[in-house]
Amino acid sequence: MRSWADFEFDPEPHRERLLPLVERLQRDRPSTDREWRRILKDHLRPDGGFYSKAEINSAARAWKLPFAAITKPTRTRSGVAPVTLFTQPYACPGQCIYCPNDVRAPKAYLADEPGVQRARSVGFDPYAQTWNRLLALFRLGHPVSKVEIVILGGTWSNYPEAYQVAFVRGCLRALNDFDGSKNPGPIHGAQIEELPFEITDESYNVRLARQGTEAIPLDWPGLHSEIQRQSESSSKLVGLCIETRPDRAGTEEMDRWRRMGITKVQIGVQNLSDEVLRQNRRGHTAEQVRQTLDSLRLAGFKIQAHWMTNLLGADPELDRREYVRFVNEEHPDEIKLYPCQRIPGTELERRFRRGAWAPYSEDDQRSLLADLLAATPETVRLSRVVRDIPKHWVTEGGVDTNLREGAEEDNRRRGAPLRDLRSREIGAEDEPTMPFRCEERRLDGRSTVERFLSVVDGRDRVLGICRLSLPKCPPPFEELAQCAMIRELHVYGPAVNVGQAGRVQHRGLGEQLISRAVELAKEAGFLKLAVIAAVGTRSYYERFGFVECGRYWIRAVC
């Protein structure tokens, strides 16, 4: 893993070579790797090598030149800067037979996954994790004025309330404190005592119970103070996501999530076959999944479902059937699609040794995945396909991390282009083409009628979306009475800083989508329109007549 020392660079000794390079890049604006390399060859380092984009950015900032060389532009291709953090290891109520038991990491994760490594290096401190990810993105040329924070680590609802509050507060405090223009350095968080890892039959929870945790005071006022500071922050929190289980997402939890500013929930669905759920010891039924998804939708949360293939008791045909049923009946917003893999130290590995479970063949995996990709509707975003588990953990039944690319190629060859949202959203380097049009789709569910609005350009690329829920059931919170709900408003395209206009962002598409949502809510007979606003987007919604009302921001539609 790259160390922070790699980013420490003083451009001043390189001024004679770097200044002409930055000025030329600013003038020529190379758009391809070939153009970049041609220019870099004319301005080599003293040792004959190329200057990195991070070094070029450092020089531009030091000399106050308006240029940013963006490294890995796909990181912010969807309009926001994603920041993924991990909670510290803690007991999990689940007993899933496939789940790793690495006590050095939060449940379901492994200590040497890159994100977990970063978290461990600062003792899982939320402030240090957030600050260092912002710094890394900033130094690689990415705007960090609109940030989505994703908190991973087992079952969020099982952590003590005081820990949850302190973690979110640490994230917000880092956002509020960060100012890249002052050329900050990395933060080295305090280390926590951790258990050495051994492959044993002892359960994760039993082993973790031996490790004491520091008592953390419950500090809601401190969190609310950081939420208020967001109004003046240069790094706005535009989305906050946690992950949990279907049996740990009740009204009490949802109330607490809204008080924290959480807007999206990753939920472990895995399958809708009760027999498969039972054999894998999920601890909940398919009906509990459906009820939880209904409750989350009524409360306005954006829903990202985890789905697994090749579980114990499944076969490719069952996986196809249940997935198609899930995406067409439950209408998730996003999906993380994971083929199950054999990890040492799990119950699934013991089943494998007894011949009770076997991984699908490579051909079966690829064929299945191609079918699932093709079956994913236009309203669903496949945010991840295949989990990138370090190869040394998976000795048999491993899944090629390029499996998604292979499955996509198979679909292209058989004339089945992908229509999921991620496949259609405009790319980081693309220019939108006229004419623009607004498409509307109706999704009928048990608890709501969903209206999916999208702005599409002349080449059928999605520029922005709005997910509007029209409830058919009583809402979970009293302030939502007579309210339609905007669960998501998102304009895609490369991220740009607040106040700047990009190729797609800050061109008025969000306003158009809100206006149409108001019209549809009024036509459906609702008196008010609510939005599940993130703490950094509230001033944006104020411009369109929304005002704070309890846990949400609400306006009249008349």
Q: What is the residue-wise DSSP string for 280-347?
A: TT-SS-HHHHHHHHHHHHHTT-EEEEEEEES-TT--HHHHHHHHHHHHHHT--SEEEEEE----TTSH
pLDDT at res. 207: 75
pLDDT band (50, 70, 90) for residue 2: very low
What are the structure tokens assigned to 376, written together?
Answer: 């994913």
Mean pLDDT value across residues 537-553: 96
Band the pLDDT of 471: cuts 50, 70, 90: very high
Confidence of residue 7 (pLDDT cuts 50, 70, 90): very low
**pTM, whole model, 2 decimals?**
0.87
**CB neighbour list of residue 46: distance below 8 Å, 6 or more residues apart:** 14, 17
Q: Which domains does the chain have, with CATH numbers?
A: 4-62 (no CATH), 74-259 (no CATH), 263-424 (3.30.750.200), 437-556 (3.40.630.30)
* Lowest-pLDDT choice from 170-179, 185-194, 285-294, 440-449: 185-194
Q: CB-based contacts of 84: which residues, under 8 Å, 6+ apart?
A: 115, 133, 149, 150, 152
Arithmetic mean of pLDDT over the chain? 88
What the block records as the tokens of 369 is 């995945």
pLDDT of residue 212: 54
Give the pLDDT mean for 427-438.
81
Residue 368 near residue 315, CB atoms below 8 Å: no
Residue 427 confidence (pLDDT) = 76
> So what's the pLDDT on residue 1?
36
pLDDT of residue 172 exceeding 70: yes
pLDDT at 68: 60
Polymer length of the chain = 558
Average pLDDT (107-128) is 92
- Give Cα 251 to chain centroid, integer Å: 23
Rounding to the nearest 10 degrees, give the CA dihedral for residues 478, 482, 484, 487.
Answer: 0
* pLDDT higher than 90, residue 87: yes
